[in-house]
Amino acid sequence: MPQHARRGMAALGVVLCGTAVACAPPGGDGPRSRADEPPVTSTRAAPAQQTRPFTLVATGDVLPHDSVIRQAGADAGPPADGSYDFRPMLAGVRPVISSADLAICHMETVYGAHGDYSGYPAFKSPPQIAKGLAATGYDSCSTASNHSLDDGAAGIRRTLDALDTAGVRHTGSARSAAEATTPAWLKSAGAKVAQLAYTYGTNGYPLPEGQPWAVSLLDQDRIIADARAARRAGADVVVLSLHWGTEWQTEPDATQLSLAKALTASRTAGRPDIDLIIGTHAHVPQPYEKVNGTWVVYGMGDQIAGPMTNYSGSFDARGNQGSIGRFTFTPPRSPGGRWEVTRAEFIPQWMDTAEGRVVNLPDALARGVDRDDYEEAQTSIRAAVLSRNAEADGLTMGR
């Protein structure tokens, strides 16, 4: 559940995207700005009177293809009345998500209405997925992606309305100019956390007329300005969600590498403006790397997706692989200092499309599940995540 319901807290696409390639080349939309806004605290019942370390987990693309929608319909059970239940699909990772102090997802698609749901090429997902994300333990989702305008402004509105109803905060798309100026504000362990989100483009769809703020578009100068505005508004930790990179490529591309370097180098009064970068979009696990002292996850991979076919037209098992990033932030040594990541972990996860379930691979294997495909997926994810020598900077595999 969202923050108040976490365990241990008080108060208690030719087939990628169903059967086709999911995403198109970057568009040419321009950026928008954010203004300073007072922090909005979350409902998690962590002690507000003192600071302590807190854990933050983040996961990859939630991309409901047609097969995923059918599975959620079947999981809702009889009668077949158009109901959908995404909780069973995510139950395997719920212990990890719900036990963290803060949890961030990436909602790649927009929601449809009245049974008008579809996968590729224009995604319209059942809004019940918001309840599934909340029940799994997510507190906030990035909503800026190349599919943010698949159903225009109406799709954005339905999506954010459903997330609001479920109690999940969001950032990256907006229903109003005022909303567009506000990050997703979270609070844990006495720290105010601001999440910002941006996408490289919107598959060529123009921003809605009169709504240049509807989707946050990636621009280096704007991101830095927004991060600094969040600091001025009270953010102790700034988390950046970026929808970027090259699909089906494990190695980060030149844009990812240069932008990560520039963003992590940005400082105000000697303090980094950004504390963590979480990447999505490539549909395969990409490396973690510490850049200028800041952790960057170039690509989380997919969390929820149907059977994936790459650009060569071949089924590609990597398209159902991903990782959960788990970062422990420790209070600054002196007032006004940085909240440091003192522990960084990754947990391999896999969407078992035959069963319609997301699997925590290390946990399943530790419990004695004897499946070669689990072993193969974990080995593949581990190799990708560690391919830029993150292990030397202390990244470990968790469960």
Which structure tokens are listed for 43?
């409902």
Summarize pLDDT for 84-111 with one digit per residue, the tens.
999 999 999 999 999 999 999 999 999 9
| Short-list 93, 280, 49, CA closest to 187 | 49
- Amino acid symbol at 287: P
DSSP string computed for 273-302: S-SEEEEE-SSS---EEEETTEEEES--BE
- Amino acid symbol at 320: N
Do residues 58 and 279 lie in contact, with contact meaning Cβ atoms separated by under 8 Å? no
Which domain does 116 fall in, by range?
A: 35-397
pLDDT at 82: 78
Residue 343: which region, alpha, beta or left (left: phi > 0; alpha: psi -120 to 50)?
Answer: beta
Residue 19 lies in a domain: no
pLDDT at 241: 98
Which position has the token pair 């078992």? 352
Which position has the token pair 């029940």? 135
Neighbours of 270 (CB within 10 A): 7
Q: How many domains is the chain built from?
A: 1
Give dist(CA 232, CA 34) in Å, integer. Answer: 12
User: Residue 288 maps to which CATH number?
Assistant: 3.60.21.10
Residue 10 lies in a domain: no
Q: What is the pLDDT along the chain (399 residues), one digit of tens a residue?
A: 445 445 333 333 323 333 333 443 333 333 333 333 344 444 344 444 478 999 999 999 999 999 999 999 999 988 666 799 999 999 999 999 999 999 999 999 999 999 999 999 999 999 999 999 999 999 999 999 999 999 999 999 999 999 999 999 999 999 999 999 899 999 999 999 999 999 999 999 999 999 999 999 999 999 999 999 999 999 999 999 999 999 999 999 999 999 999 999 999 999 999 999 999 999 999 999 999 999 999 999 999 999 999 999 999 999 999 999 999 999 999 988 999 999 999 999 999 999 999 999 999 999 999 999 999 999 999 999 999 999 999 999 999
pTM: 0.89
The CA distances from residue 183 to 160, 314, 376, in Å, are: 14, 39, 38
Residue 9 lies in a domain: no
Residue 28 lies in a domain: no
Residue 23 lies in a domain: no
Give dist(CA 240, CA 253) in Å, integer. Answer: 18
Give dist(CA 75, CA 311) in Å, integer. Answer: 31
Residue 292 lies in a domain: yes
Residue 312 lies in a domain: yes
Q: How far apart are the first and last CA of the chain?
A: 20
Burial track 340-371 (b if 16+ CB lie within 10 A, e otherwise): ebebbbbbbbbbbbeebbbbbbbbbbeeeeee
Residue 362 lies in a domain: yes
